[in-house]
Structure 1
């Protein structure tokens, strides 16, 4: 009930008014049956824009921190994510990837659409980063097609740290479904998972036109965050 209230009455009309998204390739999204929608992730707004424009319900895997923030803002954020059909996934610990796969397969086995950001985190600089293989595991285990999707303009509209979005044109572009049935039963083969994931990322890249970085976004973020501290330590005088 809250999902449809948010989509059609509260948030959906507002998002369409502010972002005025242009939708391309919507025919590629299956009208029924399970499928993975795999997209780039540029903005906090991505979580809400796609549910707002799709006719079918779509469930995203979202980091658990969105559901546990403190204060009024934290509770509002958690409410919106739950209402938008997001599933919290704890990304800490060695079993985090398995938990995400388990939750995602549960959605697909119900014949629903599952939204995934293979990069695993938002891009902090607008570039497209290397995909994690969880998307391939879910697609192969569930035996479902993967629809690549590119969010274009959401980084400029609401970059990281920006609370109030800018007025900027947004395009949401869907590509032709990718069929990986040729790899049936090979979801435990590392080389196969990497090949499938790279094919998905290349399809997203072709749709988005972003610059590609063949490294994980989380690693690059961590390195860039540590760099100022290292420079500061180098400048400190020896006692």
Structure 2
């Protein structure tokens, strides 16, 4: 692959995804190498296995892109460059698979045509053989186009999945920030409530104290007035 897997500080989950991608990518390369050497049915089975491995590698790359958002910016640049390299390697493998499929279909088409011409050539005219060859060629072209369309659809689906995953990650990050802000507001409100309770308790204590002082003053005044009145009556 085009990028080396150096040991760097980063996400352990990202590193795990890298290991999974390497396994899937190795399987893709192995299947593509086997395709030209296989007969029709084994070749089709190997192509399906290669397509599944490519889908798996695409999914792993999507997970790596999502996990990359959770890595600190100091390591993100290098890891992002490696991720682009992985994506470029996988795109090249997709092109190689498409070429192998098209080459195999052409070989199958021309081989079938030559076989049919050899077995039936003695009983057919040149025009009939030419017409049959054109029909087989058109049929093979249709199969090639269908195979190419399936690969394009798979790539489009992978891109859409990656976009959806990125959007979900963005939404989750926004919701996380909202939850954190709400928690901070609640903690601040709780602090204000505690202060208010302490203030009210202090005011209640001062009210009780003031009331006791007022009662004491009133009692003292009553005693003084009573003492004055008693003193006047005694002097008379």
Pair member with larger Rg: 2
**Does the TM-score normalized on the shorter chain lie above 0.5?**
no
Decide which structure has greater helix share: 2
TM-score range, shorter chain: under 0.3
Decide which structure has greater strand share: 1
Does 1 or 2 have the higher relative contact order (CA < 8 Å, sep 6+)?
Answer: 1
TM-score (normalizing by structure 1): 0.26
TM-score (normalizing by structure 2): 0.26
